[in-house]
A and B are shown apart, each in its own frame.
Chain A
Amino acid sequence: MNSQIFHPFVLPFVLGMAFVLTYCVVGLLRVIGQLSKDDRKKFWRSLVTPKTAWANIRDIVGDCLFHVKIWKRNPVLGYMHTAIAFGWFMIIVIGHIMLFTLKPLEGVDVEGFPRMFTNFYYPIFFKYFAEETPVFAFLMDFFLLMIISGILIAVVKKIHSKIVGVKRIMHFGFADNMIRFALWTIFPFRLIAEKTNIMAFWWLYSIDLFVFMFMLPFTRYMHIPTEALFILLRHAGLKPREPRKGYALAQIYSCPSCGLCIDACPMSVNDKNSGNTSAYFMKRLRNGDKEESQRIAETCMQCGKCVAVCPVSIESCDIKMSQREAVPYAINSDHSYLDAYESNETSNASVLYFAGCMTQLTPKIMRAMKQIMEAAGEKYEFMDKDGGVCCGRPMLLSGKTVEAQAMMAKNTELIKKSGAKRLVLSCPICYKVFKEEYQLEGIEILHHTQYIDELIKQGKLKVDKNGTNYVYHDPCELGRAFGVYDEPREVIESIGNLRKAKSEKELSICCGGSLGSFKLTQQERDEITANSVNDLMYNNPDEIVTACPLCLKTFARKAPVAVKDIAEVVATNLI
């Protein structure tokens, strides 16, 4: 212990800290200032609404402090991150608590060095200035060693990521590599400084802190201060409106570039495409690389798996959509011709079936649905048996939000006119847009998996049990988007044996046919399809079952066994 109250080596730390605090305050004001008026109102309200306030506290503690989502994804990484972040947090907290154990130092007030100022750096360099009581000394050493154990795992991950269960890791530029090096060395330096009290190490420790904090705003470590804000904004129910402003900006800075989405992304099956994953997209946005972020946004299939695995819950798909919306177009659509289109069918059907564009190309699904509805004795009507109007989602996916409205308005009109109370869809692409964008009050919207499940449970459909082994592929827009996981599985189990795929439910791999991507070539899509098929064939099923016409067509090209829609499986096993 040195009975000093100041040493110049604290200056780098003080400078760095001051810088980062200023930056955060400015950043916070900027993000909130960029929110639209409505969004801002929503945000303030969410802070005082008990339900969201509770969710805020729960997630800030759970995610920012204990990293529950990483633990769930990969316990080794969970420990790594918790060791470093939680350990560091505890060191800071304990450091501050220790301030209270300090006896007033002689001469402090005399020399005009107020305690308020020393409190700023005392907890960081405590051992240099004061004596730790044994309990605190133990705790400090414990957490310091915990951090160092976390750093050791991080080093292993960097050198050979497969040991910790990660295939592909992010590749960083100079700044990110340098700050990471600073982070890794902060704690060993502190340990050495504390144990040996060699001046050079106190200096190194402080300079490391300076480097870390000075570079923080320009690197991925900005997620440390931003994530809490992002959680607040997310719980306020906001949607990113512009790719680099307001809510999206908070998300950009919250992305820790952990790279968990790289392995998850279906495109990564080709290493060349792993640069098109969300982690890189967010990095490009952070760096202001408009061209690349635009390209990645248009390559993405919008399958949502990156969002499902993200430990921070970054809504990268939504940000990519806002990026697409930001593109100016020279020619706008004109769908005024739809005004003249009238459906001449009048019926008193209670169920309206909308096959959708894609299902027109898979007549087996349409025929199966017809058989099913007839067998169940339903009063039904086909809305687009002679070719209908597109649901509008493909147009929305291109970012042309306004131009999708004419189609949606026409379909809404046709559906309302039919008088049906239920709308059954075969295509999850349609299902998503009908569920999210259409204003169809009083009309129940169902995907045929849900509808068939209901008919079987009500006893309206009777199916034969056979010994076929099926595997079910979750279409992205049905599974991850709406959590329709159980209905199709229950339907299949009532007919045959359901085998598990290697990755299921929220981890299921996109078929590769997605309308979400504009830029993927046929060959790149084929690679994704082959990988997805392999995953489905994990337990050697006799047949692959899916619930999306696009998945069906895509898989049929590459699968070694028959690929069927769930409706077809049910229709052929009706009693």
Chain B
Amino acid sequence: MDFGFCLSPSSHVKMDNVDLTTFNRLKETNPDINTCIACGSCTATCTAGHFTEMSFRRLLLMLQRGKEDEAKKMIQRCMLCGKCTLVCSRGINIRKILLDITR
């Protein structure tokens, strides 16, 4: 039957009511989280990213766009090796943030 419209969910990020609880919690203990310029170094060097979709840059964005479930799934791939922290040109303590997210 054709009702003339469809009910597929909107693909928009709902910025009007984004749940930033996790992100704000992280920001409290890691203020430099906001200095990220999304250069992607962390993703490019990621040991787990070699095998999976793991990307810290995207993970941060997910948390800022209310996609917490996706973020929580992604972070399970992390090996915590610390390469991301070593290459981060902003000096963000990524390894600690990754650990904090899983708490």
Contacts and interface: CB of A to CB of B under 8 A. Distances in A.
Q: Are A and B in contact, CB atoms below 8 Å, in the complex?
A: yes
Interface of A: 327, 329-335, 337-338, 341, 357-358, 360-361, 387-390, 392, 394-395, 398, 400, 407, 513, 515, 518-522, 550, 553
Contact of A334 (B47, B76, B96): B76
Contacts of B45: 360-361
A553 B102 CA distance: 28
B95 A335 contact: no
Interface in B52-103: 52, 72, 75-83, 86-87, 91, 93, 95-96, 99, 101-103
A390 B81 contact: yes
Given A357-B47, A387-B47, A407 B79 contact: yes
A453 B78 CA distance: 36
B5 interface: no
Contact of B79 (A335, A518, A520): A335
Nearest to B52: A337
Instruction: Name the interface size band of chain B.
Output: 20 to 34
Contacts of B93: 518-522
B72 A331 contact: yes
B12 interface: no
Contacts of A331: 72, 75-76, 101-102
A522 B81 CA distance: 17
6 contacts: A329-B102, A389-B79, A392-B79, A394-B82, A398-B99, A407-B79
B51 interface: yes
Secondary structure type dominating chain A contacts: loop
B103 A360 contact: no
B96 A518 contact: yes
Given A329-B103, A357-B47, 11 more contacts: A334-B77, A357-B83, A387-B47, A389-B47, A390-B81, A392-B79, A394-B81, A395-B79, A519-B96, A520-B93, A521-B93
B83 A522 contact: no
Contacts of B79: 333, 335, 389-390, 392, 394-395, 407
A276 B83 CA distance: 25
Chain A CB count within 10 A is highest, among B75, B102, B103, for B102
B76 A333 contact: yes
A296 to B, nearest CB: 15
Contacts of A332: 76, 102
B99 A518 contact: yes
Contact of B77 (A327, A337, A341, A360): A337
A329 B87 CA distance: 26
Contacts of B72: 331
Nearest to B49: A387
Contacts of B102: 329-333
A261 B95 CA distance: 27
A357 B87 CA distance: 12
B63 to A, nearest CB: 13
Contacts of A520: 93
Chain B CB count within 10 A is highest, among A392, A520, A522, for A522
B51 A515 contact: no
Chain A CB count within 10 A is highest, among B50, B75, B99, for B99
